């Protein structure tokens, strides 16, 4: 693309954005990140994933974005690096342990975890404090999940058969998932204090309770016309387990919503309007923490899309159109290689604020406007 042509496309998008976004902030990191993890409602962690040395940064969101009163008087719109640290390897997975200043990372190669401490008041350095050994000898990295608990502990594993709950202070295994299956994990998360879901790449999801050693409940993979598809999952916790909804998304863009009460049956499904040719191993599907029925999807090229699942039916053939599309990463990248969104997340409290990162190192924070609300 010619420089001037590129500038024009970008200008057009920015003019359009006056109506489609309430707030829009565009940043450029030195190195791209695959993780965006909230450490508080004002701070996030990002980290590099190159094969050699990388940095973990904790960034404070700009005051202008977070201000509700006197927003106009607040000129501060930059990210502030509050803490930073150096890692020897890639960071492919990063989880903040709630209630602590502790981070747990995985390099995407082994099942071992690295532990980090975000420094105190007198230092801005993130220091490595320990190591948790994983159970798996197979390579491919681990997924990590953490939950607020009296003694900090993390759930982790690469295959469904090596999922462990480890107490951080002692390094002791306090729970082990009992299963013979050796499917690879694509997602791992707590649904409530003790109940967690482990999603496998083949689409099956295990629901287990860390308080019992009973066999986990198995949700079979959704029906699929493709054999070689991969699946990612996200669960949206309701007040009770029965209200919790699960969404599974495949590499060809089929999304299936099911509720955990009727584990086998899907509530609704849809073929998403995504470019499935452009899929990569970093597909992400996330329920909005505040807006009922809203999910966000990234990993299919340079966009992040928002869908409203309430309009979906049980008929899988229907192509669902997105409610909103964040094209910012694709539009503002002037590199020849097409840019891919590597991570995105919803703000835990602000309903329409999301943060996304792409393979060119760009990070966007955006507060979008519901299409029918715009003029």
Partner 1 sequence: MPEIKVTPLGAGQDVGRSCILVSIGGKNIMLDCGMHMGYNDDRRFPDFSYITQNGRLTDFLDCVIISHFHLDHCGALPYMSEMVGYDGPIYMTHPTKAICPILLEDFRKITVDKKGETNFFTSQMIKDCMKKVVPLNLHQTVQVDDELELKAYYAGHVLGAAMVLIKVGSESVVYTGDYNMTPDRHLGAAWIDKCRPDILISESTYATTIRDSKRCRERDFLKKVHESIERGGKVLIPVFALGRAQELCILLETFWERMNLKAPIYFSTGLTEKANHYYKLFITWTNQKIRKTFVQRNMFEFKHIKAFDRSYADNPGPMVVFATPGMLHAGQSLQIFKKWAGNEKNMVIMPGYCVQGTIGHKILNGQRKLEMEGRSTLDVKLQVEYMSFSAHADAKGIMQLIRMAEPRNMLLVHGEALKMEFLKGKIEQEFNIDCYMPANGETITVSTNPSVPVDISLNLLKREMALGGPLPDPKKPRTMHGTLIMKENSMKLVSSEQALKELGLNEHQLRFTCRVQLQDPHSDLDTLHRIYTHLKSLLKGYTIQHVPDGTVMVESIVIKVSSSAEDPNNKVLLLSWSYQDEDLGSFLSSLLKKGLPSGLC
86 binds partner 1 (CB under 8 A): yes
At residue 228, what are phi and psi to the nearest 5 degrees?
-95, 20
Stretch that binds partner 1, among 20-28, 105-113, 260-268, 346-354 (CB under 8 A): 20-28
Gap between the Cα atoms of 176 and 170, Å rounded: 16
Burial class from Cβ neighbours inside 10 Å (0-12, 13-18, 19+) for residue 42 reads middle
Which two three-digit tokens encode residue 251? 């590499």
List 33, 35, 39, 79, residue binding partner 1 (CB under 8 A): 79
Stretch that binds partner 1, among 66-74, 156-164, 178-186, 242-250 (CB under 8 A): 66-74
List 2, 3, 5, 30, residue binding partner 1 (CB under 8 A): 30
Give the number of other Cβ atoms within 10 Å of residue 355's Cβ. Answer: 22
Q: List CB contacts of 187: < 8 A, sequence separation 6 or more.
A: 143, 197, 198, 199, 232, 233, 234
List 9, 27, 176, 280, residue binding partner 1 (CB under 8 A): 27
101 binds partner 1 (CB under 8 A): no
Which residue number, 78 or 209, has a Cβ lying nearer to partner 1? Answer: 78
Which residue number, 10 or 174, has a Cβ lying nearer to partner 1? Answer: 10
Gap between the Cα atoms of 304 and 98, Å rounded: 27
Which residue number, 1 or 125, has a Cβ lying nearer to partner 1? Answer: 125
Gap between the Cα atoms of 284 and 277, Å rounded: 16
Stretch that binds partner 1, among 71-79, 182-190, 267-275, 334-342 (CB under 8 A): 71-79
Minimal distance, residue 320 CB to partner 1, in Å: 30
- Residue 292: helix, strand or coil by DSSP? coil
> Binders of partner 1 among 107-146, rule CB under 8 A?
122-126
352 binds partner 1 (CB under 8 A): no
Gap between the Cα atoms of 220 and 130, Å rounded: 37
Which residue number, 17 or 166, has a Cβ lying nearer to partner 1? Answer: 17
73 binds partner 1 (CB under 8 A): yes
50 binds partner 1 (CB under 8 A): no
Which residue number, 55 or 305, has a Cβ lying nearer to partner 1? Answer: 55
Gap between the Cα atoms of 85 and 107, Å rounded: 15
Which residue number, 86 or 220, has a Cβ lying nearer to partner 1? Answer: 86
269 binds partner 1 (CB under 8 A): no
List 52, 68, 72, 225, residue binding partner 1 (CB under 8 A): 72
28 binds partner 1 (CB under 8 A): yes
Which residue number, 155 or 331, has a Cβ lying nearer to partner 1? Answer: 331
Q: Tell me, letter by letter, the H, E, C secondary structure of 137-174.
A: CCCCCCEEEECCCCCCEEEEECEHHHCEEEECCCCCEE
Which residue number, 33 or 268, has a Cβ lying nearer to partner 1? Answer: 33
- Residue 190: helix, strand or coil by DSSP? strand
**DSSP 8-state symbol, 330:** H
Gap between the Cα atoms of 150 and 99, Å rounded: 9
Interface residues toward partner 1, by CB under 8 A: 10-11, 14-15, 17-18, 24-30, 53, 55, 59, 62, 70, 72-75, 77-86, 122-126, 363
């Amino acid at each position: 693309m010619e420089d001037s042509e590129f500038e024009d496309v970008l200008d057009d998008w920015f003019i359009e954005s006056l109506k489609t976004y309430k707030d829009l902030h565009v940043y450029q990191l030195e190195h791209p990140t695959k993780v965006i993890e909230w450490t508080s409602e004002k701070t996030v962690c990002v980290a590099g994933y190159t094969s050699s040395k990388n940095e973990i940064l904790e960034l404070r969101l700009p005051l202008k974005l977070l201000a509700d009163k006197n927003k106009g008087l607040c000129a501060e719109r930059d990210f502030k690096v509050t803490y930073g640290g150096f890692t020897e390897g890639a960071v492919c997975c990063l989880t903040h342990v709630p209630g602590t200043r502790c981070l747990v990372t995985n390099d995407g190669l082994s099942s071992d975890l690295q532990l980090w401490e975000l420094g105190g008041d007198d230092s801005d350095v993130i220091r490595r404090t320990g190591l948790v050994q994983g159970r798996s000898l197979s390579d491919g990295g681990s997924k990590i999940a953490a939950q607020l608990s009296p003694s900090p502990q993390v759930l982790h594993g690469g295959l469904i058969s090596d999922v462990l709950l480890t107490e951080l202070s002692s390094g002791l295994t306090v729970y082990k998932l009992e299963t013979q299956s050796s499917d690879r994990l694509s997602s791992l998360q707590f649904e409530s204090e003790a109940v967690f879901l482990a999603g496998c790449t083949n689409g099956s999801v295990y629901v287990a309770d860390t308080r019992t050693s009973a066999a986990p409940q198995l949700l079979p993979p959704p029906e699929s016309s493709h054999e070689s598809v991969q699946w990612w999952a996200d669960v949206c916790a309701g007040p009770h387990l029965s209200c919790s909804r699960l969404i599974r998304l495949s590499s060809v863009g089929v999304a299936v919503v099911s509720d955990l009460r009727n584990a086998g049956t899907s509530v609704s499904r849809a073929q998403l309007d995504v470019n499935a040719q452009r899929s990569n191993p970093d597909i992400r599907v996330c329920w909005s923490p505040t807006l009922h029925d809203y999910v966000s999807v990234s990993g299919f090229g340079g966009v992040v899309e928002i869908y409203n699942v309430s309009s979906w039916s049980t008929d899988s053939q229907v192509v669902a159109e997105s409610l909103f599309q964040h094209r910012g990463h694709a539009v503002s990248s002037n590199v020849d290689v097409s840019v891919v969104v590597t991570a995105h997340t919803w703000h835990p409290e602000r309903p329409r604020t999301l943060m996304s990162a792409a393979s060119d190192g760009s990070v966007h924070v955006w507060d979008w406007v519901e299409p029918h609300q715009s003029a």
